Amino acid sequence: MLKLMKYEFRKTAFSKLILLCITMVVEIVYLLGVFLKKDNLLFIGIMLLTLCATAGILYIGLESINVLQRDLNTKQSYMLFLTPRSSYQILGAKILENGISILLTGVFFAVLAVIDIAVGNYKELWDMLYRFLDMNMNISIDPWMIAFNFFSALAGWITCIVSADLAVILSASVLAGKKASGIIAFIIFIILTTILGMGMDMLPELNSIELTFALDIAVSFLAAAIFYLISGWIMDKKLSV
Amino acid sequence: MEYNPTLPIYLQTANAIKRDIVTGKLPPGAKLPSVRDLAVEYTINPNTVSRVYKELESEGVCFTRRGMGTFVTEDSAKIDMLKKEMAGTLIRDFLEGMEQLGYSRHEAITFLENEK
Amino acid sequence: MVLESREATKTYGRKTAVDHVSLELEAGFVYAMLGPNGSGKTTWMKMAAGLVKPNSGGILYQNQPIGIESKKEIAYMSTEPYFYSWMTVADVGKYYEDFFDDFSMEKYHQLITSMELTEDMRAKKLSSGMMAKLKIAVTMARKAKIYLLDEPLNGIDLLARDEIMRTILASIEPDVTMVISSHLIDELERVADAVLFMKEGHLIRQCMVEELRISQHKSVADLYREIYGHGGEAVC
């Protein structure tokens, strides 16, 4: 399993490296803004860092779907399916590697944000914003809340990718050779995510916010696990490469 | 070596080895290549090589020592006999061919004598 | 009997690539699988390799359906290159070492050296002849029980063909079974114990080649012409 994950990482290592390089350049812009007290640079830095974080996390997910697509539909597929490994292991390695990558990228940008905020020394600004929101909109900013929101968004994104994986696998196996298999797979993906979204909305509010988010994340991962098992089963029974 | 694809490969290979034995290229008592080496040398199937060695053994041209390999017989009388046998085959083939062309045995011999 | 195909059938849309193919392969034999392009050789091999799943029927290795266990002992080499584009010759060997317990890095090194490949060559940039050698080297460096070689001589010049054929022969251990597909007969004429003739997804004839030569004074090429040339009946 670790060996499979190693090669999954190798397939996407290049774009991850590029993301890291771009982030470093942008970070330098931000730091120059801080230390030279240039508001323009500072502003551009903040904008671009936010963009790097969101686009990066989105891209890492999308790329994994693309890699799966290639691993099922080109000759490259032999590399995986000749190995004495089960479909569950092959797909599991992909999902785990990608999930861990997304989480680590999330943690990386979160830590970077904390550091940058500390370096920037915005205590005054922060307090002002805090009071403003508290008085006018009755919203209290709790760092934990932000963290929970962030990680539940990451969990939701990972689940979304796993459901897209399921659609890709369907189009390469059960729907293979049929007309409009791509479109049918896309519709299946939309239906899956819609059902999932509706299900998530129906989750009860628990008496503590922490528990509500924990439930949210747990349900996301449970859904991902179910999609994974269905996908693995289809690959095992129906996939020809 | 060139094979005739309509004749059994094992016989053609056995004949090639016999030629090497009677011409002394493979001297009496010499060790023959392993099955795999011979298969690679002649680019033929290893099962065919095993059959070649079995054939040579049954004719008494070679013998196998357990765990050591296959060797050319040390019996020089046997090799002489083999040489004569092979000559006999050539002559029979020749005579048969001449007969098909309509020459008598006597005429065939005259042809041989006049051949330089 | 080491491998058994029982009515194995695979369809792609409306086209039936392999149609109820039943055959039994014995350990220690070299089989030549012959037939024109599109006769079902590749699809049958991919089923035996576990890459393609049959629609009906199936293939058994040691009386067990093809799966993880069979993949440990059956080495398949496809006609097309399939390595990841980032790989070098060394990476290809490392990949096989990572996944196949029967892979010998030592033998791989020996084979790539004798075939004049170097470790730092990029798989993507190899010529078709070099790629064929790399595929053979990495496949034969496995100590498998069955080798399925799909068109190993395709698109390769004569000298390289000899070299590849010798590499294959040198790797045959007792009890190893080999299936080599080709639409070229000459190269396999001397090497095969038995031939399997495929036509339009069917296995239409099989016979032992030495017996063919002994009892009928026919070459495999003769038989091939009889079968595919003018549809004449061939007797085995």
Q: What ipTM did this prediction achieve?
A: 0.89
Contact B7 C191 (CB under 8 A): no
A237 vs A122, more confident = A237
**pLDDT beyond 90 at A225:** yes
Name every residue whose Cβ is closer than 8 Å to that of residue A99 and which is 6 or more positions away in sequence.
A158, A224
Give the up-direction half-sphere exposure of residue A170: CA atoms within 13 A in the CB hemisphere: 20
pTM score > 0.95 for this model?
A: no
SS3 call for A150 = helix
- Gap from C82 CA to chain A (nearest CA, Å): 5
> Residues B96, B110: one domain?
yes
Handedness of CA C44, C46, C49, C51 (dihedral sign): negative
Band (pLDDT 50/70/90 cuts) for residue A18 is: very high
B41, B56, B74 — which closes off a domain? B74
Mapping DSSP onto H, E and C, the string for C219-236 reads CHHHHHHHHHHCCCCCCC
Q: Which residue of C has its CA nearest to B36?
A: C170
Q: How many CB pairs under 8 A join A and C?
A: 59
Residue A50 near chain C (CB below 8 Å): no
Q: Which residue of B has its CA nearest to C208?
A: B8
The pLDDT value given to residue A138: 66
- The answer to whether A28 and A116 are in contact (CB under 8 A) is no
> Residues B66, B34: one domain?
yes
**DSSP line for chain C:** --EEEEEEEEEETTEEEEEEEEEEE-TT-EEEEE--TTSSHHHHHHHHHTSS--SEEEEEETTEESSHHHHHHEEEE-SS--S-TT-BHHHHHHHHHHH-TTB-HHHHHHHHHHTT--TT-BGGG--HHHHHHHHHHHHHTB--SEEEEESTTTT--HHHHHHHHHHHHHT--TT-EEEEEES--HHHHTT-SEEEEEETTEEEEEEEHHHHHHHH---HHHHHIIIIIS------
In chain C, which stretches have pLDDT less than 70? 230-236
In angstroms, the CA A191 to CA A29 distance is 42
Helices A39-73 and A87-120: angle between axes, nearest 10 degrees: 180
Domain limits for position B24: 1-74
> For residue C53, which residues of chain A lie inside 8 Å, CB to CB?
237-240
The CATH number of the domain holding residue B20 is 1.10.10.10
Contact C83 A11 (CB under 8 A): no
> For residue C213, which residues of chain B lie inside 8 Å, CB to CB?
5-9
Helices A209-238 and A87-120: angle between axes, nearest 10 degrees: 150
> Residues B19, B66: one domain?
yes
Contact C78 A177 (CB under 8 A): no
pLDDT digits (tens, 9 = 90+) for A167-213: 999 989 888 777 788 888 889 999 989 998 888 888 887 778 778 88
Q: How do beta strands C30-34 and C194-199 pair?
A: parallel
- Count of domains in chain B? 2
The pLDDT value given to residue A142: 73
Exposure string over C47-64, b if 16+ CB within 10 A, otherwise e = bbbbbbbbeebbbbbeee
Beta bridge partners of residue C30, listed in sequence order? C178
- pLDDT mean across residues, chain A: 88
In angstroms, the CA A66 to CA A12 distance is 10
Contact B9 C218 (CB under 8 A): no
Residue B7 is classified by DSSP as: S
Name every residue whose Cβ is closer than 8 Å to that of residue A179 and which is 6 or more positions away in sequence.
none
Mean pLDDT, rounded, for A22-28 = 93
B59 vs A129, more confident = B59
Q: How many CB pairs under 8 A join B and C?
A: 58
> Residues B64, B15: one domain?
yes
Contact B51 C162 (CB under 8 A): no
Q: How do beta strands B62-65 and B69-72 pair?
A: antiparallel
Cα B96 from chain centroid (whole Å): 20
Mean pLDDT, rounded, for A87-97 = 95
In angstroms, the CA C39 to CA A6 distance is 38
Residue B42 near chain C (CB below 8 Å): yes
> Residues B70, B113: one domain?
no
The pLDDT value given to residue C235: 46
Beta bridge partners of residue C56, listed in sequence order? C9
> For residue C68, which residues of chain A lie inside 8 Å, CB to CB?
84-86
In angstroms, the CA B70 to CA B50 distance is 10
CB atoms within 10 A of CB B16: 14
Query: Contact partners of B by the rule of 3+ C-beta pairs under 8 A?
Result: C
Burial, C22: exposed, middle or buried (Cβ in 10 Å; 0-12, 13-18, 19+)? Answer: exposed
The pLDDT value given to residue C233: 47
> Residues B92, B115: one domain?
yes
> Residues B41, B92: one domain?
no
CB atoms within 10 A of CB A196: 20
> Residues B70, B84: one domain?
no
SS3 call for B11 = helix
In angstroms, the CA A87 to CA A223 distance is 19
Contact B47 C30 (CB under 8 A): yes
In angstroms, the CA C80 to CA A189 distance is 32
Query: Which of B6, B44, B51 has the CB atom closest to C190's CB atom?
Result: B44
At position C193, the amino acid (one-letter code) is: D
Q: Which residue of C has its CA nearest to B49?
A: C191
In angstroms, the CA C45 to CA C3 distance is 12
Beta bridge partners of residue C177, listed in sequence order? C146
- The answer to whether C27 and C177 are in contact (CB under 8 A) is yes
Q: Which residue of A has its CA nearest to C15?
A: A177
Mutation target for A interface from C98, C139, C150: give the one with most A CBs within 10 A.
C98
The pLDDT value given to residue C181: 93
* Residue C213 structure tokens: 């030569």
> In whole angstroms, how far apart are CA B54 and each of A46, A84, B89, C171?
84, 40, 21, 22
The pLDDT value given to residue A139: 66
Mutation target for C interface from B7, B9, B44, B45: give the one with most C CBs within 10 A.
B45
- The answer to whether C53 and A81 are in contact (CB under 8 A) is no
pLDDT-wise least confident of A66-75, A105-114, C165-174: C165-174
Band (pLDDT 50/70/90 cuts) for residue A107 is: very high
Beta bridge partners of residue C77, listed in sequence order? C149
> Residues B34, B3: one domain?
yes
Band (pLDDT 50/70/90 cuts) for residue A140 is: low
* Residue A135 structure tokens: 């008085």
Q: Which residue of B has its CA nearest to C185?
A: B5
Q: Which of A84-98, A161-175, B35-49 has the highest mean pLDDT?
A: A84-98
Contact C80 A11 (CB under 8 A): no
The pLDDT value given to residue C232: 44
> For residue C177, which residues of chain B lie inside 8 Å, CB to CB?
none
> Residues B10, B66: one domain?
yes
Band (pLDDT 50/70/90 cuts) for residue A59 is: very high
SS3 call for A237 = helix
SS3 call for B70 = strand
> Residues B82, B58: one domain?
no
> Residues B87, B113: one domain?
yes
- Asked if B touches C (at least 3 Cβ pairs < 8 angstroms), the answer reads yes
Q: Which residue of C has its CA nearest to B41?
A: C166
Contact B45 C166 (CB under 8 A): no
